A and B are shown apart, each in its own frame.
Chain A
Amino acid sequence: MPVRTEAKHVLGALALITAAAGLAWHGQPSALEKWQFLAAELEPRLVQREVQIHPAEMLELMHDDYIDLRVIDVRDERDWNMFHLWGSQRIKLDALEQHRKSFLKLPANGVIVFVSNDESRATEAWKRVMAIASKPNAYILAGGINRWLGEYAGHAATDQESGHVPPDDTLRYPLQWAMGSRHPAALPDLHAIQQQMVSRQPTAVPDTQHVEQQHVDQLREPHPHDAMRGPGHNRGPGFRKRVKLQKKVIKRGGCG
């Protein structure tokens, strides 16, 4: 082999080794750094509240057999024990990265919803998972558990969006016992709620009598579930559905 060619090979090898050593020293971006890269693309979706889903839509998702729903609760253990949504899974914020592979394996009909007491922790979880798991089909429960309980356990609504409640992500609903997912509001009966909307009659809500009466009172007011009744039946502001199943285009390649 000519000397000049050999020198070129040595130089090429040195360049490759230097680039690889630099890469090993630099490392790959952390979840936070990756979010910085993605922020320009994803932050507007957060700001325009395209990924915050209304509790009524969440309830529909929980009853939709077609959807492979993963509800990820990022609250602390105490709040989780007090109340959590039926079928939800508690994962600490710092432990989300350990579940990266399961987020990556989300099927085409898979939807992830992050839940916290208000929205701040769930938003943080959403950012991290969008960064580490290839932007899965993930959403945030609008208003969090506080608003959910406001909607389905008869408590006065604590809507973060209204600005009445500071978003400190604490559980404000006055629960007396740690009921976990045994609380009736953990999985409200969608059919019963829809029927109530149609008939406007106070039918049984699976809760204590006190809560039931509060819920019925609430249902007499304009309610987001009015939107479920179809066109021509809206009597309240309703809600706009956010969840869309994203069909990712997969380009498979290979070399024979």
Chain B
Amino acid sequence: MAPFDLNTQLGDIGAWIIYAMIGFGFGFILESAGFGDSRRLAAQFYWRNLAVLKVMFSAILVAAVLIFWASALGWLDYDEVWVNPTYLWPGIVGGLIMGVGFIFGGFCPGTSLVGMATLKLDALWFVIGVAVGIILFGESVHLYNDFWHSSHLGRFTLQEWTGLPAGLVILCLVGIGVSVFWLGDIVRKRMWGDAGED
């Protein structure tokens, strides 16, 4: 039953090859979807191009459906899948900072690496900014360490929050996702008309 410890089963080199292949695939898809272009990414926030919302949310929904179907069929032990622990308020503040950075910079950290791979200058500067931010955070974290570790909820998932079965939560998410895609397109067409990008 998955997940498998690749380092044990394939050896370090075998596992690294798998990781590299996954990374390659991830980067390839991001670049193919046009996520190496900061203008296309930033257009999301002006409701002119909803590709980021559609690709990312579709990926999340498809992954969720596959993970929980695999769990339902006994192929995957969901409890052994790593879920980032929730630190509620630090998470909210961090999300705000990240969102503002995304709007200003036109990239998120992952897509900036994709942009840099195609030698985009703005992506390079964004990556330099990310590196400086990481260093600054590391050097100053002791000043707000208590806040950083506050409101720890552990592995806290939507099904635990709502008390609903995982399948029903995913069905609701899929419903919300599809509705947002559909409504988003209607709003985009009204706002931008032909100037909007599909």
Interface residues of A (CB under 8 A from B): 1, 9, 12-13, 16-17, 19-29, 33-34, 36-38, 41, 101, 104-105, 132-135, 249-256
| Residue from A12, A33, A132, A252 in contact with B74 in the complex, judged by beta carbons closer than 8 Å | A33
Q: Is the interface of A mostly helix, strand, loop or mixed?
A: helix
Q: In the assembled complex, how far is the CB of residue A34 from the closest CB belonging to chain B, in whole angstroms?
A: 7
- Residues from chain A with Cβ under 8 Å of B110 in the complex: 255-256
Taking a contact as CB atoms under 8 Å apart, the answer to whether B74 and A20 are in contact is no
> B residues within 8 A CB of A104?
79, 155
Main secondary structure of the interface of B (DSSP, over half): helix
A41 to B32 CA separation, bound complex (whole angstroms)? 41
Query: With A16-B174, A17-B174, A20-B65 in contact, is A249–B7 under 8 Å at CB?
Result: yes
A-binding segment of B36-44, B117-125, B142-150, B162-170:
B162-170
By a CB distance below 8 angstroms, the chain B residues around A38 are 1, 77
Give 9 A-B contacts (CB < 8 Å), ordered by A residue.
Answer: A16-B178, A17-B175, A20-B65, A24-B167, A26-B69, A29-B72, A36-B74, A249-B5, A252-B84
The residue that B171 contacts in the complex, of A1, A21, A255, with Cβ under 8 A, is A21
Which single member of B61, B84, B154, B165 contacts A16 (CB below 8 Å)? B61
Most chain A C-beta atoms within 10 Å of own C-beta, residue among B80, B166, B171, B198: B171
Q: Please measure, in the bound complex, the distance between the C-alpha atom of A132 and the C-alpha atom of B84, giving whole angstroms.
A: 19
Judge whether B154 and A19 touch: CB under 8 Å. Answer: no
Q: Which residues of B contact A1 (CB under 8 A)?
A: 198
Q: How far is the CA of A237 from the CA of B69 in the complex (A)?
A: 49
Is B161 interfacial (CB-CB < 8 Å)?
Answer: no
Q: Which residues of B contact A250 (CB under 8 A)?
A: 82
A13-B181, A255-B110 are contacts. A27–B82 as well, Cβ < 8 Å?
Answer: no
Contact A20 B171 (CB under 8 A): yes
Q: Given A16-B174, A28-B68, A252 and B167 touching (CB < 8 A)?
A: no
Decide if B93 is an interface residue (CB 8 Å cutoff). Answer: no
Contact across chains for A16 and B171 when beta carbons are under 8 A apart? no
In Å, the complex CA distance between A255 and B112 comes to 12
In the complex, the answer to whether A23 meets B171 with C-beta atoms within 8 Å is: yes
Contacts of A29 in B (CB 8 A): 71-72, 74
